Amino acid sequence: MTHGQQGTAGASDIRAVDLQSFAVALRRTISEISRLVHGFAAAQGLHPTDVQALSLVLDHPDPPTPGLLRDRLGLTSGAVTACLDRLEKAGHIHRSRDDTDRRVVRIHYAEGARAAARSYFMPLAQATERARGRFTDDELAVVLRYLGALNAELAELRVPRR
């Protein structure tokens, strides 16, 4: 299968897909999602990094701390504070003190802000569902396992702070 072909690869074909094909497909996916993220950021008067921070807040199992955002986004403490100030002013997040340690600040996704994100990203959700419909549950399980493994590897890579 070349990187220009579309469709599903059978189990025997998967090793025939070279690293270059994966790299091209992943860069294209990143580019397409980045285009959507930049559009949402512009529509909300935010910076694309702010939208990355929102994603981290939304996806984290517990309300994250500014330190976690600093580490995950590769930003300085001052840049994280500026980002959180913009997000709070725009009504996307609110900050609170931790119940057990008042020195710790927790970041919460503002419930009212979810509607704007859901509305804007609905076409992405619909496209995702259409693509998912082209695969069996077993194939999707493999894709999820691959993405999980890739994300775990990528999480180990550290970038210098800006």
pLDDT digits (tens, 9 = 90+) for 76-104: 999 999 999 999 999 999 999 988 888 99
Domain ranges of the chain: 17-156
For the cut 50, the answer to whether the pLDDT of residue 121 exceeds it is yes
**So what's the pLDDT on residue 137?**
97
Q: Do 123 and 141 meet the contact criterion of CB atoms below 8 Å apart?
A: no
No. of helices (H) and no. of strands (E), the chain: 6, 2
DSSP state of 5: -
Fold type of domain 17-156: Arc Repressor Mutant, subunit A (1.10.10)
Residue type, 149: A
**So what's the pLDDT on residue 118?**
86
Closest to 105 in 3D by CA, of 62, 153, 76, 50: 62
Q: Do 105 and 66 meet the contact criterion of CB atoms below 8 Å apart?
A: yes
Distance CA 8, CA 30 (A): 20
pLDDT digits (tens, 9 = 90+) for 21-74: 888 999 999 999 999 999 999 998 999 999 999 999 988 999 999 999 998 898
